[in-house]
């Protein structure tokens, strides 16, 4: 009879994989969440946590503090319930660690659940774990992740993504969100709520809430601020057509020159930028107002609620009604 990888009477084993210059919060944030999960009657821990690395020993973090680890070779993969690859300031160097990648490739089928925090997703990609799966990493690295692992489906917006047994999170504090969601999957909503209350975080900030404000992303990409006034004007005129010609007229440029210059400055085509700003405005309205979805769709320039629904599903993976249910502000 095969041995259970996760005996139900024993705490589930969570193993974090560290590489040189691991980002401390990528480890300690979710680790603390798992540590807080206790049996409400006895206070008994419901998880065990372990830090591991390719060859074991101290691993220096980005904070200058070393964390002690065990070697991968000393682990029994069948005992691991969840394996989480943490991000690192030197993540791309870790992809050359044949021992690490080889171990993951060999034993990934024996581990019930696999996850990553921030650019730890690159380790999963190198081991083939992201093939034909939706995934996410820190927004600055999404394009790089997609380019390096073209068989993956990188979604740049969500704070975390679950695709079957593989979970990926955007980075830093989103690792805590992912850990709380894992606890809810394992132990139920009450246990997850208890952890969330202990850590003073939301129980549900699920994969669907964007990593960042879309207009702020435009501003960050446009380091010269050349189109700041245009972005402000767009935000005030979302109900109108907002064609390339309309935008070009606002900047005093020809449509062709505007399109080329805008994409060079922001990394987005004008049409995509307008779409994302409509989406951002609709998200805010769903979170902060009681307006009907059909009215929000008109106010934000989608024309009708079906077009808005397709936009939400495309970028956030949820319909507007589901988004409102999850993120509506409470008073």
User: CATH number, domain at 223?
Assistant: 1.10.10.60
pTM over 0.85: no
The structural domain count of the chain equals: 2
**Whether residues 63 and 99 fall in one domain:** yes
Alpha-carbon gap, residue 84 to 80, rounded angstroms? 10
Tell me: do 251 and 192 sit in the same domain: no
Q: What is the mean pLDDT of residues 309-330?
A: 81
Question: Is pLDDT larger for residue 41 or for residue 215?
Answer: 41
- Taking residue 232's Cβ as centre, other Cβ atoms within 10 Å add up to 11
Residue recorded with tokens 């245009």:
230
Average pLDDT over residues 284-289: 88
Task: Band the pLDDT of 197: cuts 50, 70, 90.
Answer: confident
- Residue 134, domain CATH: 3.40.50.880
> Are 167 and 141 within one domain?
yes
Round to whole Å and give the CA distance between 113 and 293.
37
β-pairing, 82-85 with 57-60?
unpaired
Q: Please indicate, yes or no, whether residues 148 and 222 belong to a single structural domain of this protein.
A: no
> Cβ contacts of residue 173 below 8 Å, gap of 6+?
25, 29
In a domain, 288, yes or no: yes
Q: Which one, of 170, 164, 98, lies nearest residue 133 by Cα?
A: 164
Distance CA 302, CA 32 (A): 42
The Cα-based distances of 91 to 154, 158, 275, 286 in angstroms read 18, 21, 33, 37
∠ CA 176-154-15 to the nearest 5 degrees?
A: 40
Averaged over 113-117, what is the pLDDT? 97
3: pLDDT strictly greater than 60? no
Asked if pLDDT for residue 157 goes beyond 80, the answer is no
113 and 166 within one domain: yes
Give per-residue pLDDT as tens, 67-80. 999 999 999 999 99
Structural domain range at position 116:
12-199
Q: What percent of the chain has pLDDT over 70?
A: 88
DSSP string, 220-260: HH-TT-TTHHHHHHHHH-TTS---HHHHHHHHTS-HHHHHH
Do 193 and 224 lie in one domain? The reply is no
At 6, the pLDDT band (50, 70, 90 cuts) reads very low
- The verdict on residue 207 lying in a domain is no
Q: What angle do CA 48, 49, 51 make, to 5 degrees?
A: 150
The Cα-based distances of 229 to 139, 218, 222 in angstroms read: 24, 12, 12
Domain boundary among 136, 168, 199: 199
Instruction: Please determine, for residue 217, whether its predicted confidence score (pLDDT) is greater than 60.
Output: no
Does residue 6 sit within a domain?
no
Q: Are residues 262 and 142 in the same domain?
A: no
Mean pLDDT check: name the lowest of 43-52, 176-185, 196-205: 196-205
pLDDT of 317 higher than 80 = no
């Amino acid at each position: 009879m095969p041995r259970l990888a996760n005996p139900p009477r024993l705490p589930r084993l969570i193993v974090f994989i560290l590489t040189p210059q691991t980002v401390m919060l990528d480890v300690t944030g979710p680790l603390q969440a798992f540590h807080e999960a206790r049996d409400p009657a006895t206070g008994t821990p419901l998880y065990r946590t372990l830090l591991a690395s390719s060859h074991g020993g101290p691993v220096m973090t980005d904070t200058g503090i070393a964390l002690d680890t065990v070697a991968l070779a000393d682990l029994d993969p069948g005992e691991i319930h969840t394996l989480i690859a943490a991000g690192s300031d030197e993540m791309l160097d870790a992809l050359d660690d044949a021992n690490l990648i080889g171990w993951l490739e060999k034993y990934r089928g024996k581990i019930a659940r696999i996850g990553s925090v921030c650019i730890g997703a690159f380790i999963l990609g190198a081991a083939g774990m992201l093939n034909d799966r939706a995934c996410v990493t820190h927004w600055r690295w999404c394009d790089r992740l997609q380019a390096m692992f073209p068989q993956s489906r990188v979604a740049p917006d969500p704070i975390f993504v679950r695709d079957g047994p593989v979970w990926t999170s955007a980075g830093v504090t989103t690792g805590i969100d992912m850990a709380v969601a894992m606890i809810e999957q394992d132990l139920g909503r009450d246990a997850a709520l208890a952890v969330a209350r202990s850590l003073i975080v939301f129980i549900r900030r699920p994969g669907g809430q964007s990593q960042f404000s879309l207009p702020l992303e435009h501003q960050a990409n446009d380091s010269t601020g050349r189109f700041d006034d245009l972005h402000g004007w767009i935000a005030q005129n979302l109900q109108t057509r907002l064609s390339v010609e309309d935008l070009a007229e606002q900047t005093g440029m020809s449509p062709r020159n505007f399109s080329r210059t805008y994409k060079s400055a922001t990394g987005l085509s004008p049409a995509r930028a307008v779409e994302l700003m409509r989406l951002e405005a609709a998200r805010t309205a769903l979170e902060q107002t009681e307006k009907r979805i059909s009215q929000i769709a008109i106010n934000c320039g989608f024309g009708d609620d079906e077009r808005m629904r397709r936009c939400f599903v495309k970028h956030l993976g949820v319909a507007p009604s589901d988004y409102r249910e999850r993120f509506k502000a409470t008073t």
